[in-house]
Amino acid sequence: MLILSLDSTAVVGSVALCRDDTPLAVFTVKNGNTHSETLLPMVEAVLNTTNTSVADIDLFACAVGPGSFTGVRIGVATVKGLAFGREKPCAAVSTLEALAENLVPFEGIICPVMNARRGQVYNALFHVENGVLTRLVPDRALSIAELERELAARGEPFALCGDGVDVTTAGFQTLVPSAVSPLLADQSAVSVAKCALRAYQNGEAVSDAALSPVYLRLPQAERERLERNNETKE
Amino acid sequence: MLRELYQTKSTQETEALGAALAARMQESDLPRYIALYGDLGVGKTAFVRGFASVIAPESTVRSPTFALVHEHRGKELDLFHFDMYRITGEDDLYSIGYDDYLTRNGICLVEWSENIPFALPDAYLRVTIEKCDADHPDLRAICIEEVAAC
């Protein structure tokens, strides 16, 4: 099965063509939030280099969030456009699950973190069981302090990945993450493809029309900040 | 830290002050985020118009009250002109891609910053425009000051 996958949910933009689990071509840039200008030329380069046409693709996959509002929309819209009218399945992949996939087979808790600004991260927690990623909590936005409390309570070694690694490591008071290669910290469309294949095999693929962005917003942060601002005014 | 007070007597003078600040910003390491404070009709957009005439001379500046943010392609730096008048919280900010703009190579000019005190960057320029003389309705007191988190 030929899978075209992409991730544009943060500063990294990544496009991959995989045959099942095997990457055939990967194109990743980390050059600022310019996905609206770079993503489609990257798709074109990946397809041309491998002598593949869009019609050959069996499964379209996309990291659908959480992440940057514009980045998420660009990725989802691009996949919708490529798949439109082709009756081919699409897989909506959590950005966090794909990030966690980078670190398989880490023994312990895999803890992807994306910088959601103002002391918050987008996060989920995963285990690896028999080589397969297993989700422990749903995708959420939470403060770095809350994340540290939760990881401390679980009491297991953990590894971080994602663009929030630095802000999270700096924000933790006592916990120290396990060392992993920084090469694995960034979004990779190959990981998106792996998650997409799993979703497809589990019958979770959708039509291009049903592919939707997932925005995790910060109602709690908003509430807390409004309270804090009111206090300072008083 | 920068702190300067000016008086302008007309819209044209307010624009010229905006243009002068833009020229200085190109040649210095002043924060590339300007939070604008001031009542309706006091001249915030005029200040931005002058500022844009230097950074993005091809562009036409209008108040972004409806669109929330206007992007102007500049010669070297892009200019992002926000109006936070209708923004009430994090969810609204997220859905205009606010944080994405902060990571781009550009200058943010933000009208109605009063509405987003929780989301201002660590360092920015605060520009306050006020009417200052009831007998001279065109007179404005304009304060430009640098703000940085301790």
- A103 and A90 share one domain: no
- Provide mean pLDDT across the span A1-25: 97
- Closest residue of A to B119, CA-based? A118
- A173 and A102 share one domain: yes
CB contact under 8 A, B91 and A221: no
- A6 and A90 share one domain: yes
Q: What are phi and psi of A90, to 5 degrees?
A: -125, 150
What band does A234 get if pLDDT is binned at 50, 70 and 90?
low
- CATH number, domain at A142? 3.30.420.200
CB contact under 8 A, A33 and B91: no
Dist CA A46 CA A16 (whole Å): 7
- Provide mean pLDDT across the span B32-37: 96
The predicted structure's pLDDT at residue A215: 86
How large is the ipTM? 0.71
- A58 and A72 share one domain: yes
Number of domains into which chain A is organized: 2
- CATH number, domain at A207? 3.30.420.40
- Provide mean pLDDT across the span A216-228: 59
Q: Is position A38 within any domain?
A: yes
- A54 and A27 share one domain: yes
Task: Domain of residue A152: give its range.
Answer: 96-184
- A209 and A150 share one domain: no
Q: What percent of chain A has pLDDT over 70?
A: 93
Distance from CA of A230 to the nearest CA of B (A): 11
Secondary element (H or E) of residue A39: helix A35-49
Q: Is position A121 within any domain?
A: yes
Q: Which residues of A touch B96 (CB under 8 A)?
A: 69
Q: Which residues of B touch A215 (CB under 8 A)?
A: 94-95
Residues A139 and A216: beta-carbon distance below 8 Å: yes
CB contact under 8 A, B104 and A217: no
- A9 and A19 share one domain: yes
The one-letter amino acid at A138: P
- A90 and A202 share one domain: yes
Q: Which of B59-68, B112-121, B134-143 has the lowest mean pLDDT?
A: B59-68
CB contact under 8 A, A33 and B119: no
| Surface of B (41-70) touching A: CB under 8 A | none
What band does A216 get if pLDDT is binned at 50, 70 and 90?
confident
Topology, domain B3-148: Rossmann fold (3.40.50)
- A112 and A216 share one domain: no
The answer to whether residue A62 scores a pLDDT higher than 50 is yes
Dist CA A114 CA A18 (whole Å): 25
Averaged confidence pLDDT in chain B: 92
SS (H, E, C) chain B: CCEEEEEECCHHHHHHHHHHHHHHHHCCCCCCEEEEECCCCCCHHHHHHHHHHHHCCCCCCCCCCCCCEEEECCCCCEEEEEECCCCCCHHHHHCCCHHHHHCCCEEEEEECHHHCHHHCCCEEEEEEEEECCCCCCCCEEEEEEEEECC
CB contact under 8 A, A222 and B117: no
